Structure 1
Amino acid sequence: MVLTITLPEHVQSYIDQQIADGRFETETAVIIDVFEQVITDYRWEEDEDLLEVIAAVDRGEVVPWTDDLLDRLSEQARENSRRGHKVSDDIKY
């Protein structure tokens, strides 16, 4: 199977570094290794943050997604940007 994807720059840099360090010979090998780690290592049943979110939803503690909410979140993001707050990579992508 052939799959073409565009990776964020920081992910491509990670892949390039893994190859440069000699851990892997190809980009495909790096990507397969990462997926296998995720598949075997991540157990959502043990993710306390995720379990808390699920419990909050079960209790009905949710905020409806509205245009107003999107506007408020967008304004907060713009304000954080104006103040020079760094946005972590897991939020950007």
Structure 2
Amino acid sequence: MPHTVEWKVRLHLFEDDEGATKAHVVLDTGTTELTGHGTAHRHPADTNVPEIGDELAAGRAMRELAQQLLDIAERDIEGVGASRPSTRPSVGWRL
């Protein structure tokens, strides 16, 4: 049976008074809301390119969110009695 869902992601980027770019990402699955945060700091000697700070902060926030999802999936896999083998199985869930 096919399974289709839509998850919504909101990403907020802003720069603080010290010049750090910060990202706040929110994932809404409809039943759960997860958040991730990321920060980027430009070295004073570097050229000011705001897009780079945005990319770094957003990437770090999404990486944090991705790790949360993987941790949840691992707990769910263990919760249904599936094991996490050390070698790649021919069938079953893989992380």
| TM exceeding 0.5 | no
Question: Which structure has the bigger radius of gyration?
Answer: 1
TM-score using structure 1 length? 0.23
Structure number with the higher helix fraction is 1
- Higher normalized contact order (CA 8 Å, seq sep 6+, divided by chain length): 2
